Amino acid sequence: MSGLNLSYVVVVALIAVAALAMAALFRREVLAAGEGTENMKTIARAVQEGAAAYLNRQFRTLSVFVVLVFGLLFLLPGDTGVRIGRSLFFLVGAAFSAAIGYLGMWLSTRANVRVAAAARDSGRDLAMKAAFRTGGVVGMATVGLGLLGAAVVVLAYQEDAPTVLEGFGFGAALLAMFMRVGGGIFTKAADVGADLVGKVEQGIPEDDPRNAATIADNVGDNVGDCAGMAADLFESYAVTLVAALILGQAAFGEEGLVFPLIVPAIGALTAVLGIYLTRPRAGESGLTTINRSFYISAVVSAVLCGIAAFSYLPDSFTQLEGGLGDHDGDPRLLATVAVLIGIVLAGVILWLTGYFTDTEKKPTRDVGRTSLTGPATVILSGFALGLESAVYTALVVGAAVYGAFLLGSGSVILSLFLIALAGTGLLTTVGVIVAMDTFGPVADNAQGIAEMSGDVDGEGADILTELDAVGNTTKAITKGIAIATAVLAATALFGSYMDAIQNEIAAVAGSIEGDTSFLLTIVSPNVLVGVVIGAAVVFLFSGLAINAVGRAAGAVVFEVRRQFRDDPGIMAGTSTPAYGRVVDMVTKDSLRELATPGLLAALAPIAVGFGLGTGPLAGYLAGAIATGVLMAIFLANSGGAWDNSKKLVEDGYHGGKGSDAHDATVIGDTVGDPFKDTAGPAINPLIKVMNLVSVLIAPAIVSMSVGPDENDALRYTIALVAAAVIVGAVWLSKRRSAVIGDDEPVREGASV
């Protein structure tokens, strides 16, 4: 790379370091706030200990898997130095993803009590500021580590950077997927179990200290929504950058390795602006405040990215250092419009998701109104809302992808790069998006601590209830934006997959005419089979995740019931439940349950690719992307609407707490919990893991299929082993009891 371009990359790395410094500054502000009463501190410490214990055990479990994949990456074709770099940066990506997740958990478990104390002692504005600044820490750390990792790879490997970055993105995505699945199972098993026994059976409040599952529920908010989602958004950031840099080199040459770094670097600066602007005005809802900050930072990002494009890029392709030198058009204008598409997409999804899940909007209010006729109609209306909202969101994402595609004017590689640039445009908002996401579980935990301690009432309790409802909507919004980044990144990675196949074919065979395993046309039956399998994997993955929550939640229900039955003093308030027993139980169950979905995501592309060929694997990816975006939005928005319809009833609508309508919405909420916080969000890293696995194995599939290294026996053996592992894992999962720990007696004369 030229000296000037290297200088730009160094500046990007320095901005990444500055983002990390801002994260440290925000962290100090959050920790400087008061922690409230001794009772509140005691509850917060229990949550801190449970969350740390879970993540430590999860990291020990995953470390074995990470080391195994690190070794397998060495076996893939390629230059020795590049293979070593790819494997090393796989570890770096996994470590960064784990670090972001741990930071999100660590700080949120300390901020929750401070938000509760602020609501009690200082009012709504300071409580909201503390919750959002907590998210700001995680957001700036996400931006900083993502940019730093990509910039260091480009500086160290230059023209080989895209290949090495495949490892960086794969490490981030793989660990995030496991953290999302494991944390999602933990949080929703505890939440569902606590609600079913506490609210429905015993008629006590959500975070009543007499419920043995309350500490586990609060721990789950942190390991699922904070740690899991923070790692998820970090891998979205990393993988989108990887896709943009891989395609940028082919389309724009040297400048294609630099400009995709400049765009999110601008986003790092505007994220600071967005976080500082989040100051509520008198009489303004918290969601309005957050949305205004988001939109202002997005507009500033759009203007600065346009200035950067016209300042850095030349006015014709002939002036680019490599790439598509003979293509017509102005690279500056194309890059600017592509980035704007991504920024506008983020804004539209924010509005669209907010419309379907906000307590102030008609769709969620309609779901709440159906509670007057029972839980069945609540579930039906929420289900229908999710299905409908998924269509609109998918159309919006599809329009963005197609708009970026049209900018390419017939050049497929340019179109794919512009789609990836749209993804980097969306990344300019990631700092604020992560802050919005972390805001939700911090506010939820703060309300839980307030209720368990009994030290916050009156106006302070009302403040926390409002912030919790706002947090439910911001979490739904960030899930929508996360799946949009997954689609943009997956579409771009799909192009990288095709590029990898073509390069390997040219290197080992020159031509593969007549070999149907390489056909990519959708009318080819084997490719259509790949599409069906890809769609089916999304359904199976979602079913496994939701079923895992059901089994683990059943164990919590039995345990909480047992404690109420064996110790009457718990309900009377004269003795303390065994909180630690429930935390330990859910920890073990969630770590055991995450293996099967994880193996499915990693091994299914291997089974399809080596068994059926690169054409069906392309169809597989297309089916997974199309089905994944619809399924993820459906699950997230249904769950968000059910949760907020429950909040409406608890605020006094349709009979209020303790009414039949309240019981109906609680049941709807428990159905929606694994939808919106386990299966739905996990589809986002699932799509990218499968795409990255496909990019990594594509050269090996081609070399084993044609050319001097052709080895059909080995290829089919790999496919059969991968398929056998998947079948075995699913079979073992289905052999488990419908409820973990189900020791209820079987009715006399009935078969088991």
pLDDT band, very low/low/confident/very high, at 738 (cuts 50, 70, 90):
low
Q: What does 195-249 look like in DSSP terms, one character per residue?
A: IIIIIIII---TT-TT-TTHHHHHHHIIIIIIIIHHHHHHHHHHHHHHHHHHHHH
Tokens of residue 696, six digits: 């990594």
Average pLDDT over residues 163-186: 84
Nearest in space to 240 (alpha carbons), one of 142, 98, 333, 327: 142
| Residue among 674, 464, 590 at smallest CA distance from 186 | 590
434-461 average pLDDT score = 82
Determine contact, residues 295/288, Cβ cutoff 8 Å: no
Q: Does 514 have pLDDT greater than 70?
A: no
The span from the CA of 377 to the CA of 708, in Å, is 63
pLDDT at position 306 is 92
Residue 364 has pLDDT above 80, yes or no: yes
The pLDDT, as a whole number, for residue 646 is 85
Q: How far apart are CA 509 and CA 111, in angstroms?
A: 59
Residues in the chain: 752
pLDDT at 741 over 70: no
pLDDT at residue 752 greater than cutoff 50: no
Rg (CA), the chain: 25
For 208, other C-beta atoms within 10 Å of its C-beta total 19
Collect contacts of 9-13 with beta carbons under 8 A, ≥24 apart: 9/151, 9/154, 9/155, 9/257, 9/258, 9/261, 10/151, 10/155, 11/265, 12/147, 12/151, 12/261, 12/262, 12/265, 13/147, 13/148, 13/151, 13/152, 13/155
CA 113 to each of CA 201, 445, 732: distance values in angstroms, whole numbers, following the listed order = 29, 8, 41
CB 649 within 8 A of CB 374: no
- Helix (H), strand (E) counts: the chain: 23, 0
CB count in 10 Å sphere of residue 365: 16
| pLDDT at site 747 | 42
Nearest to 476 by CA among 537, 588, 393, 396: 393
When the pLDDT of each residue in the chain is averaged and rounded to a whole number, the result is 83
First to last CA, the chain: 68
Is residue 530 over pLDDT 80? yes
- Let me know: does 37 contact 453? Beta carbons within 8 Å: yes
| Whole-model pTM over 0.85 | no
Report the pLDDT value the prediction gives residue 534, as an integer from 0 to 100: 93
Greater pLDDT, 585 or 541? 541
657 Cβ contact partners less than 8 Å away, ≥ 6 residues apart: 205, 649, 650
Which stretch of DSSP H or E encloses residue 663? helix 660-674
Residues sharing a CB contact under 8 Å with residue 530, sequence separation 6 or more, in sequence order: 608, 612, 615, 616, 617, 618, 619, 620, 622, 623
Which tens digits make up the pLDDT trace of 72-111? 877 776 677 778 888 898 899 889 988 888 888 888 888 8
pLDDT in the model for residue 74 = 76
The tokens describing 318, both together, are 């002939």
Task: State the pLDDT at residue 739.
Answer: 52
Distance, CA of 351 to CA of 345 (rounded, Å):
10
Q: Tell me the percentage of the chain whose pLDDT exceeds 70.
A: 93
Angstrom distance (rounded) from CA 121 to CA 700: 62
Query: Given pLDDT bands bounded at 50, 70 and 90, which one contains residue 304?
Result: very high
| Least confident span in 51-65, 136-150, 222-236, 531-545 | 222-236
537 Cβ contact partners less than 8 Å away, ≥ 6 residues apart: 600, 601, 604, 620, 624, 690
Cα 520 from Cα 116, distance rounded (Å): 56
Q: pLDDT for 367-376, tens place per residue? A: 889 989 988 9
For the chain, the structural domain boundaries read 3-498+516-735
Q: Between residues 204 and 17, which one has the greater pLDDT?
A: 17
The percent of residues in the chain predicted with pLDDT above 90, rounded, is 14
Q: Tell me the pLDDT band of 360, cut-offs 50, 70 and 90.
A: confident
Q: State both tokens at 112.
A: 């929750």
User: Residue 750: what pLDDT?
Assistant: 38
pLDDT of residue 467: 84
pLDDT for position 21: 93
Residues 6+ apart with CB under 8 A from 169: 93, 235, 238, 239, 241, 242, 243, 688, 692
Cα separation of 177 and 184, whole Å?
Answer: 10
Cα dihedral 612, 618, 622, 628, rounded to 10, equals 70
CB 654 within 8 A of CB 648: yes
Q: Which tens digits make up the pLDDT trace of 467-492? A: 887 887 777 777 777 778 778 877 87
Q: What is the amino acid identity at position 713?
A: A
Q: Which of 44-53, 248-257, 712-721 has the highest mean pLDDT?
A: 712-721
Of the pLDDT bands very low, low, confident and very high (cuts 50, 70, 90), residue 745 is very low
**DSSP secondary structure string, 680-733?**
HHHHHHHHHHHHHHHHHHHHHHHHHHSSTT--HHHHHHHHHHHHHHHHHHHHHH
Q: In this structure, what token pair is assigned to residue 324? A: 């598509």
pLDDT, average across residues 458-475 = 81
pLDDT at 742: 47
The pLDDT assigned to 212 comes to 83
Q: Write out pLDDT tens, residues 668-684.
A: 888 888 888 888 888 88
Highest mean pLDDT (candidates 14-23, 26-35, 291-300, 483-492): 14-23
